[in-house]
Amino acid sequence: MQPFIYDQLPVRVLFGSGMVERIGAEAERLGIARALVLTTPGQRPLGLRVAGALGARAAGCFAGAVMHVPIAAAQAARAEALRLAADGLVAAGGGSTIGLAKAIALESGLPILALPTTYSGSEMTPIVGITEEGRKRTERHVRVLPRCVIYDPVLTLGLPAAVSGPSGMNALAHCFEALYAEAANPVTSLMAEEGIRALAAALPVVIAQPDDLAARGDAFYGAWLAGLTLSAVGMALHHKLCHVLGGRFDLPHAETHAILLPHVAAYNRRAAPSAMARAARALGAADAAAGLYALVQGLGGKVALRDIGMPEGGLDEAADLACLDPYYNPRPIERGAIRRLLQDAFEGGPPADGARIGG
């Protein structure tokens, strides 16, 4: 076996239906007496319920989380935490809300208790991203890692199918890239393959029967594993492309992941054969790229960047940006092939078989 380094991050996890009822006890365990509850504007009712459950331990609710944490939202939330003399943050929501909590914690060091309601996996990572002047800058800092995460599948019951599918594919993308990450090791690969298997099996049920709590629980389990892999290894070309398209063209994060992943799998197909074999096995498919595309289609999600607001005139710039400060990738970053990959994702057909982009 190859030598490896594996950092085990200190997060307490509570998993299961009804676990959210323990929030008061968990806040007390963290020494939080004045929690600022964070949500998106749409999830304010959840925030108010959570604040109610925290009782005297809640200092207020700030429903200003926005996708990709624009710097203005981060500054407003930091000011609110100061104004209320908050001594802890409760993030009730998806990656946007947890991202906002991290932006506050980055400066203040306040502890975060996360109640995820999507499958983004952000709650398991020490990664914080803030968008300023059209570019999302990310950094790793253990200070922003939530101290406690309560995965209660009941909280995902309201997640519409149109959000559940792409959000689950976002999680699956973390597992997928973990399989060929530079720092991949036997433990992360085990979690990644199991995460792909759990998500690929659960997501179609979540879409067909959104109130199936068992499937919601299985999808959450996959999302947890996805977050763990994301926290343990660096991501590759797929995440670089998603950051470029999200930061520069303001495309919706989870849909961008779902659309791009099959095409990135095709790009990396020949460069990472054992990762592709594990992913294909977990997907129950002969080819990982084709299996991913079939999964996205089966979830009824969008398959073309043109359908989520990408301007065709921006593809050249996106290819250029993808080649700037590239992340590690098993296959070298070739500008021409990346441009073709983006064209394929823009049009939304099946991923290339290898001849077109040389994957």
Nearest to 178 by CA among 142, 232, 129, 141: 232
- H helices of 5-43, in order, are 23-29
Is 151 strand, coil or helix?
A: strand
Q: Is 164 in the site for ligand NAD (CB under 6 A)?
A: no
- Map tokens 């709650």 to a residue: 123
Minimum Å distance from CB 163 to ligand NAD?
A: 5
Minimum Å distance from CB 41 to ligand NAD?
A: 7
Minimum Å distance from CB 33 to ligand NAD?
A: 27
Q: Strand pairing of 12-15 and 148-151?
A: parallel
Among 47, 99, 217, 330, binds ligand NAD (CB under 6 A): 99
Query: Which residue's Cβ lies closest to ligand NAD?
Result: 95
Among 11, 105, 117, 302, binds ligand NAD (CB under 6 A): 117
- Of residues 318-347, those binding ligand NAD (CB under 6 A): none
d(CA 352, CA 101): 39
d(CA 239, CA 327): 9
Is 16 strand, coil or helix?
A: coil
Q: Is 122 in the site for ligand NAD (CB under 6 A)?
A: yes
**Cβ atoms within 10 Å, residue 92:** 31
Minimum Å distance from CB 45 to ligand NAD?
A: 10
Q: Is 256 in the site for ligand NAD (CB under 6 A)?
A: no
Segment near ligand NAD (CB under 6 A); pick from 154-162, 267-275, 305-313, 336-344: 154-162
Among 47, 94, 146, 165, binds ligand NAD (CB under 6 A): 94
d(CA 56, CA 201): 41
Segment near ligand NAD (CB under 6 A); pick from 20-28, 150-158, 208-216, 289-297: 150-158
> Mind spelling out the 3-state secondary structure of 291-320?
HHHHHHHHCCCCCCHHHHCCCHHHHHHHHH
Nearest to 17 by CA among 197, 216, 219: 216
Q: Strand pairing of 135-140 and 127-132?
A: antiparallel
Segment near ligand NAD (CB under 6 A); pick from 39-47, 77-85, 193-201, 311-319: 39-47
Among 34, 78, 238, 253, binds ligand NAD (CB under 6 A): 253
Among 105, 125, 299, 341, binds ligand NAD (CB under 6 A): 125
- Per CB under 6 A, residues contacting ligand NAD are 40, 42-43, 67-68, 93-97, 99, 117-118, 120-122, 125, 127, 129, 155-156, 158-159, 163, 167, 170, 230, 253-254
